[in-house]
Amino acid sequence: MQVILYNPLSNKGKNVKIADRLAKQGQKKGLLVTTKNLLEIKDVKAFLSLYKKEDSIIIIGGDGTLNRIVNQINGYEVLPETFIYKAGTGNDFIRTVPIKNKLANIKPFIKDLPTLYVNGKVEKFINGAGVGLDGIVCYKVNKSKAAKNKSNYFRNAITSFFQYKPVKGTITVDGKTWVENKLWFATVMFSSYFGGGMKLAPKKNRSEHNLELVIVKDIPKWLLVLVFPTIYFGWHPLFKKYVKFYRGNDITVEFEHPSYLQRDGEDEYPVSKYRVTMDK
């Protein structure tokens, strides 16, 4: 059996049509196909118990959809082969895994994910989580009626530059603590991309069992406007005075003033402190 899961609220409702098209393709191959609205699944454990190893699941969506799913299934065994169909707007996850015919097998990549502790909650994420300028940009993008694509992210980033003021922050990486006085953002990455195609951590591969903290600090606002576009190409490490990278397995960031947090493109406010760990 093939199960197609879709979120009718994402991708401007286009996922419903994509689900229907994939179902017809599966039926032509002689498969028994069923489609299911993700929002209607109330008991994840009971849902997963319906399917066996020889079945397959196709999830239609992007980073936000996958983020919610990995948190819902955390702790449960998923027997069927599970794929994600490229139908999101950010698609930062699918940029970093093997893909064929818009399908990526996600089972090898949704185990042993980073753990995020924030505002009394414990969550998983697939790409990155951070506080500061990137959180505010994600908030603006999510609030915008325009599509969540590179141009929308870039446009909102530019407007955020002139509104956001860098703040003092305390950073701890594997027990080593220091203070930065003018932090623009501090983002923990499990993979290389965020923001719909921005290569924030160019050397980070999700197959590596560690985290990479990327911070931008002390940079004049006018220069940040010029540096920011280089992130799309992964060239920003050239600005070593302002852009720093730290590897570790236990990272805590505490800001002097509350700000927006983003995790896999989803925003949250207010956040003054967050911690990310990677099981050894």
For 190-243, the pLDDT digits (tens) are 999 998 889 999 999 999 999 999 999 999 999 988 898 899 899 999 999 999
115-277 sits in which CATH class? mainly beta
Task: Give me the pLDDT at residue 149, please.
Answer: 63
pTM reported for the whole predicted model = 0.92
Considering the chain, tell me which residue range(s) the CATH 3.40.50.10330 domain(s) occupy.
2-109
In angstroms, what CA-CA distances link 228 with 26, 136, 185, 253, 263? 43, 15, 12, 22, 19
**Class of the CATH-defined domain 2-109:** alpha beta
Query: Cα separation of 158 and 224, whole Å?
Result: 10
Q: What angle do CA 228, 220, 158 make, to 5 degrees?
A: 40
Q: Are strands 103-105 and 81-86 parallel, antiparallel or unpaired?
A: antiparallel
Ranges of the chain whose pLDDT falls below 50: none
Q: By the 8 A CB rule, do 92 and 64 touch?
A: no
Where in the sequence of the chain do the CATH 2.60.200.40 domains occur? 115-277
